[in-house]
């Protein structure tokens, strides 16, 4: 059984930078790069994500482009499980499955290799931010579409007012920082 640490050593929220009007006017962007630049805070972030992910006994971690690659791959390495990238269309070299989705400021799509996960594999989705849930919901659909099972979704930041977790029905959602 995983032993929980208490209390949290670093207030990660103090290392999130607010960037107004990015990428468009009216959007307040929550920037995780100061957190990643602080070695102790980055290590603490990965430790907390890995601790939570480990509770779900995943066979793999799925990371969403692009900051999800940073957090997801390090969590996967810490847990000793595989890492599967979900990328923007046209970036993966093999046959893919694609899912379109709506963002809070437009639309986009993501892809996964069709053979990325074994049927029935337990996976945890990891990304830096949960906002409207469009990207995470698309990732859930992709993973399910190739026969694997999303057992949890983990985020560094959740923008609660945007109700992104509603796009992940039946999936436990955890965030280290909430706004």
- Residue 158 is among the residues annotated as catalytic for this protein: no
Nearest to 17 by CA among 102, 129, 122, 112: 129
**Rounded-to-10 torsion of CA 69, 73, 75, 77:** -170
- Catalytic: which of 30, 67, 165, 167? 67
- Catalytic: which of 55, 102, 104, 122? 104
Q: How far apart are CA 20 and CA 172, in angstroms?
A: 30
* Half-sphere exposure of residue 166: CA atoms within 13 angstroms, side-chain side: 8
List, in sequence order, every beta strand (DSSP E) within the chain: 17-20, 28-31, 60-64, 82-86, 96-103, 106-113, 122-130, 149-158, 173-178
Catalytically active residues, by annotation: 67, 104
């Amino acid at each position: 059984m995983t032993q929980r640490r208490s209390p949290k050593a670093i207030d990660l929220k103090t290392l999130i930078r607010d960037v107004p009007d990015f990428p468009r006017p009216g959007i307040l962007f929550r920037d995780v790069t100061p957190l990643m630049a602080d070695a102790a805070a980055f290590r603490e972030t990965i430790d907390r994500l890995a601790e939570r992910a480990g509770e779900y006994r995943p066979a793999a971690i799925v990371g969403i482009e692009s900051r999800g690659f940073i957090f997801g791959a390090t969590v996967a390495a810490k847990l000793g499980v595989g890492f599967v990238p979900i990328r923007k269309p046209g970036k993966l070299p093999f046959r893919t499955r694609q899912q379109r989705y709506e963002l809070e400021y437009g639309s986009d799509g993501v892809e996964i290799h069709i053979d990325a996960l074994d049927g029935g594999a337990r996976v945890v989705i990891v990304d830096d931010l949960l906002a409207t849930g469009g990207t995470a919901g698309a990732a859930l659909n992709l993973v399910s579409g190739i026969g694997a099972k999303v057992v949890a979704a983990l985020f560094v930041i959740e923008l609660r007012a945007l109700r992104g977790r509603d796009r992940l029905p039946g999936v436990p959602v955890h965030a280290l920082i909430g706004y």
